[in-house]
């Protein structure tokens, strides 16, 4: 069992994670989270196995030439980028590990057992949750590096995606299209059971949930993260189709793909999430500019026709949900006041626990002590992932987490990756940026299916190069 087995296993695990994550009610239950964690561990293990096989092959055949996937001439910045990302990934995992090992307390319901710790190092007030947080991010590192190396291994010389990456895109988009269709059918039939199967403990009305997600904003976040990525893939196919003579299904696949994108794009609006609608509008404007600039030399109106089709679907969704949207916007002032009241104790939590934070994953355990009264809700999430990161990881931990993300965003400027046109990269930026905007008012990064997809897209950006 060599590289062929590793590649097949990597592809199978990647496809399983994409299909499993959203359909199992967003993977918000503990058992589903651990299934996705185990997939990440397996991908990381396959990546390490691949590295060992390559090193052994280089030792046995020192004169065999450059490794598979390496270009034969010119400069290649990939080794430097890989070392930098490896170092920053290790630094983030080390930060989380120190916080779990150096725990200041073990939390049980209404009771803390304190223990000695080094307060000048990251530490945690809930050891068990910080260990869970560490294992979760170790699994995400497995997704990032397992997929990154798998894609780079097959990088071609021209501006063309490897076949394995095209298959990944197709599975992602087809699965998203089917999920969007099922979610819309469930919503318009008025069914308050997720996927007609389970009634959630909270958000029991159809207007407060969406598809497999018990919280409608999480459904909007997933689809706002997904449809710009599908548009990026369509743009790549459309630009490369000019050099190919296509027939049959391949000639019309772009139209089918755009139909699926329109279904996905209308979901954030139908979900009745105000933040989802705002991010959708922002990404539509950005996507319109990017696509128009990419296609104006070919057809000045081609990009506008595409966006008009998507806007037609969105207009239909708005018309169908007009009364509910008027009700939602009529409640914006009350919602704003409630959210600001929620942030008051959270800001105090952040101020009291700097620079290291309370420990990864500890927000829900410690929020009880900052409530204004016992009658107030005991929140499991901060409804602001940026603020929750400051509370749990501290300013230092947030900075450590943002460093590899900054390198990923700048990767396109260096040689040695999979060469794609800049508009494709920009559309994926828009998808990730929309999720980061969502994180200012909600908790997309507390939902495992969204977090895994975000990590996969970061892995994708880390291999794309404009040169």
pLDDT at 246: 55
Running DSSP on this structure, what letter comes out for residue 181?
A: H
Strands 418-419 and 111-114: unpaired
pLDDT at 237: 85
Model pLDDT for residues 408-459, shown as the tens digit of each residue: 999 998 888 898 999 999 999 999 999 999 999 999 999 999 999 999 999 9
Among residues 272, 222, 265, 279, the alpha carbon closest in space to that of 26 is found at 222
In what helix (H) or strand (E) does residue 418 lie, and over which residues does it extend? strand 418-419
Model pLDDT for residues 209-227, shown as the tens digit of each residue: 999 999 999 999 999 999 9
Q: 15, 158 in Cβ contact below 8 A?
A: no
DSSP-assigned states of every residue in 339-392: HHHHHHHHHHHHHHSTTT-S-TT-HHHHGGGG-SSTTS---SS-S-HHHHHHHH
Write out the two tokens for 320: 């169908």
Angle between helices 3-23 and 163-188 (to 10 degrees): 10
Span 264-269, average pLDDT: 91
> pLDDT exceeding 70 applies to what percent of the chain?
88
Angle between helices 30-60 and 3-23 (to 10 degrees): 160
Mean pLDDT of the chain: 87
Running DSSP on this structure, what letter comes out for residue 193?
A: S
Given pLDDT bands bounded at 50, 70 and 90, which one contains residue 252?
low
The count of other CB atoms within 10 Å of the CB of residue 373 is 5
Q: 173, 257 in Cβ contact below 8 A?
A: yes
Q: Tokens 């990381």 label which residue? A: 44
pLDDT at 73: 41
More confident residue, 176 or 315: 176
Write the burial class of residue 84 (CB in 10 Å: 0-12 exposed, 13-18 middle, 19+ buried).
middle
Q: How many whole angstroms separate alpha carbon 365 and alpha carbon 347?
A: 16
Model pLDDT for residues 49-81, shown as the tens digit of each residue: 999 988 887 777 654 455 544 444 445 788 899
pLDDT at 21: 94
> pLDDT exceeding 90 applies to what percent of the chain?
54
Say yes or no to pLDDT of 27 above 60.
yes
Q: Tokens 């979901």 label which residue? A: 267
The count of other CB atoms within 10 Å of the CB of residue 355 is 13
Q: 379, 367 in Cβ contact below 8 A?
A: yes
């Amino acid at each position: 069992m060599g590289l062929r087995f590793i590649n097949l296993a990597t592809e199978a695990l990647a496809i399983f994670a994409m299909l499993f994550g959203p359909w199992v009610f967003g993977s918000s239950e503990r058992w589903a989270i651990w299934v996705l964690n185990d997939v990440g561990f397996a991908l990381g293990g396959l990546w390490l196995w691949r590295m060992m096989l390559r090193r052994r092959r280089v030792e046995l055949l020192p004169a065999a030439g450059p490794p598979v996937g390496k270009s034969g001439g010119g400069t290649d910045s990939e080794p430097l980028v890989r070392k930098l990302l490896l170092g920053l990934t290790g630094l983030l995992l080390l930060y989380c590990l120190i916080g779990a090992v150096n725990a200041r307390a073990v939390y049980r319901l209404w009771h803390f057992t304190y223990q000695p710790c080094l307060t000048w190092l990251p530490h945690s007030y809930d050891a068990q949750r910080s260990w869970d947080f560490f294992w979760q991010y170790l699994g995400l590192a497995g997704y990032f590096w397992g997929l990154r190396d798998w894609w780079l291994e097959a990088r071609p010389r021209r501006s063309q995606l490897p076949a394995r990456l095209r298959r990944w895109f197709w599975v992602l988009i087809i699965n998203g299209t089917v999920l969007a269709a099922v979610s819309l059918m469930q919503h318009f039939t008025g069914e308050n059971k997720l996927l007609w199967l389970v009634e959630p403990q909270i958000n029991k009305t159809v207007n407060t949930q969406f598809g497999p997600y018990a919280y409608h904003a999480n459904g909007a976040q997933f689809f706002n993260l997904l449809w710009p990525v599908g548009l990026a893939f369509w743009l790549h196919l459309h630009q490369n189709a000019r050099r190919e003579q296509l027939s049959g299904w391949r000639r019309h696949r772009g139209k089918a793909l755009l139909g699926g994108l329109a279904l996905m794009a209308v979901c954030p609006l139908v979900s009745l999430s105000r933040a989802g609608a705002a991010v959708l509008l922002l990404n539509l404007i950005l996507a319109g500019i990017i696509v128009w600039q990419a296609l104006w030399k070919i057809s000045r109106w081609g990009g506008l026709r595409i966006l008009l089709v998507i806007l037609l679907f969105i207009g239909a969704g708005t018309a169908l949900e007009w009364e509910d949207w008027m009700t939602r916007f009529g409640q914006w002032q009350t919602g704003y006041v409630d959210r600001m009241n929620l942030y008051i104790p959270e800001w105090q939590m952040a101020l009291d626990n700097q620079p290291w934070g309370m420990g990864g994953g500890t927000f829900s355990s410690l929020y009880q002590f900052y409530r204004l009264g016992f009658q107030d809700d005991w929140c499991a999430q901060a409804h602001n992932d940026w603020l929750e990161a400051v509370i749990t990881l501290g300013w230092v931990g947030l900075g450590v987490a943002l460093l590899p993300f900054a390198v990923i965003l700048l990767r396109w400027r260096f040689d040695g990756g999979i060469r794609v046109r800049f508009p494709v990269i920009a559309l994926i930026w828009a998808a990730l940026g929309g999720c980061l905007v969502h994180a200012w008012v909600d908790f997309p990064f507390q939902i495992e299916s969204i977090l895994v997809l975000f990590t996969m897209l970061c892995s994708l950006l880390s291999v794309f190069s404009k040169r």
